[in-house]
Amino acid sequence: MTKTKQAPEAVTVDRRGAAARNDRRQSGDRRQAAAPVAVERRQIARREKVNRRRQIDPTTCEREYTDLEIEFMQAMDNYKRKNGRMFPTCSEILEVIRDLGYVKAQVVELETVAAAE
């Protein structure tokens, strides 16, 4: 008596089978019914965007900034937005300062100013 070995049948597992039968995405759109709404929550007119001063350091928020400081902070913020740089390098900061019109004073000019005071 010889036993012959039979090859096992290939088993296919379809995990998506049961889920596909109960898939919500295949059902109709439930928003098609035009049911009345008790309270309208949508705003018709858009609110005006408030220009926030994001560049203010939260640890010094009680401090009043001078006009020059605010101008510099806005210039830095514009540079960061335009160039997609969250943390500009020192050379990029110097570029912003130069774009604002600042130049390095010569040593002779500084001595003259100090002597006049």
Residue 15 has pLDDT above 60, yes or no: yes
Output 21 or 111, whichever has higher pLDDT.
111
For the cut 80, the answer to whether the pLDDT of residue 67 exceeds it is: yes
- In this model, does residue 48 exceed pLDDT 70? no
Torsion of CA 102, 104, 106, 110, to 10 degrees: 70
Q: What is the DSSP letter of 101?
A: T
The confidence score (pLDDT) of residue 91 equals 95
H or E element, residue 90:
helix 90-99
Q: Token match 């949508």: residue?
A: 42
Percent of the chain residues topping a pLDDT of 70: 58
**pTM of the shown model:** 0.42
Assess whether pLDDT exceeds 90 at residue 96. Answer: yes
H or E stretch including 12?
none
In degrees and rounded to multiples of 5, residue 30 shows phi and psi of -75, -10
Kindly report each contact of residues 99-107 with a partner whose C-beta sits within 8 Å and lies 24 or more positions away, as own/partner. 99/75, 100/71, 100/72, 100/75
Say whether pLDDT at 101 is over 90.
Answer: yes
